Amino acid sequence: MNFSSKLIEQAVNAFAMLPGIGRKTALRLVLHLIKQDKNTTESFADAIVKMRQQIKHCKDCHHLSDAEICSICADTRRDKTLIMVVETIRDVMAIEETNQYRGLYHVLGGVISPIEGVSPYDLNLTTLLKRVSPTVKADGSEAPSAVKELIMAISPTIEGDTTIYYISKQLMNKKIKVSTLSRGISFGGELEYADEMTLGRSIVGRVPYKNNP
């Protein structure tokens, strides 16, 4: 593309660097900003730079946070006996959207994948083990961890299952319940369109019918 302006070209290149934004879309965004007044562009840029400079990862659960401890971990009304183990930050947001869960989270940052070169040491596992281990008090005695259950909300793939297996092995000696999300046919989905694997597993893993679910 011929921009006849270095400034436009640099701004287009900046936008086009973002995922899913090509040079035509980038140009449309730049021309949109030119139509707005200068303050709009400045506050747009400010919000992004400020976010990038100040955003932290919660040192307990590794979720994105404005402070050292994220607002979920800091919320005293949440159930501290439950930790949901997820792959990414987006998973936390998706689960929060459901409004079905009031426990805490732990963001692994991925799953074990030898093909992609992700080993258990690349995941946030040390902090997870620390969270479920007894804390040593000042007098040397141990206080048991508040956590009673880990819910593995990991993608139902080979890598995901490997990760769940690895973590459950690490927790063998600890008195902690490990559960996974239920798997089966989707709500509102038509049986005939479910894939064979899902349908097969949902038959094997059938549950007793409850009249009042």
CB of 106 to a second copy, least distance (A): 14
Tell me the closest approach of the beta carbon of residue 77 to a second copy, in angstroms.
14
Indicate the residue among 25 and 127 with the shorter CB distance to a second copy: 25
Cβ distance to a second copy smaller for residue 52 or 137: 52
**CA angle 179–68–18, rounded 5-degree value:** 85
Q: Which of 17, 143, 204, 207 binds a second copy (CB under 8 A)?
A: 17
Helix 23-35 crosses helix 38-54 at what angle (to 10 degrees)?
Answer: 120
Q: Count residues contacting a second copy (CB under 8 A)? A: 57
DSSP string, 133-177: SPEEPTTSPEEPPS--EEEEE--SSHHHHHHHHHHHHHTTTS--E
Backbone angles phi, psi at 114, to 5 degrees: -60, -30
Q: Which stretch binds a second copy (CB under 8 A): 2-10, 114-122, 155-163, 187-195?
A: 2-10
Binding characters for a second copy, 32-51, by CB under 8 A (x = yes)? xxx---x-xxxxxxxxxxxx
Q: Which stretch binds a second copy (CB under 8 A): 9-17, 126-134, 159-167, 183-191?
A: 9-17
Report d(CA 156, CA 107) in Å as an integer: 16
Of 27, 82, 107, 108, the residue at the interface with a second copy (CB under 8 A) is 27
**Which positions from 76 through 95 interact with a second copy, judged by CB under 8 A?**
89-90, 92-93
Decide whether 14 or 203 has the Cβ nearer to a second copy. 14
Give the Å distances, CA to CA, from 39 to 17, 49, 176, 196.
23, 15, 54, 55
59 binds a second copy (CB under 8 A): no
Q: How far is CA 64 from CA 37, 38, 75, 91, 126, in A?
A: 32, 30, 15, 12, 18
CA distance 27 to 11: 8
H-run or E-run covering 65: strand 64-65
Q: Between residue 170 and residue 209, which ones bind a second copy under the rule CB under 8 A?
A: none
Q: How far is the CB of 122 from a second copy (least distance, A)?
A: 14
- Under rule CB under 8 A, residue 116 binds a second copy: no
> Does residue 117 bind a second copy (CB under 8 A)?
no
Residues 6 or more apart whose CB falls under 8 angstroms from that of 129 comprise 170, 171
> How would you classify the pairing of strands 64-65 and 79-86?
unpaired
- Give me the residues that bind a second copy (CB under 8 A), please: 1-8, 10-11, 13-15, 17-21, 25, 27-34, 38, 40-55, 63-66, 70-72, 89-90, 92-93, 96-97
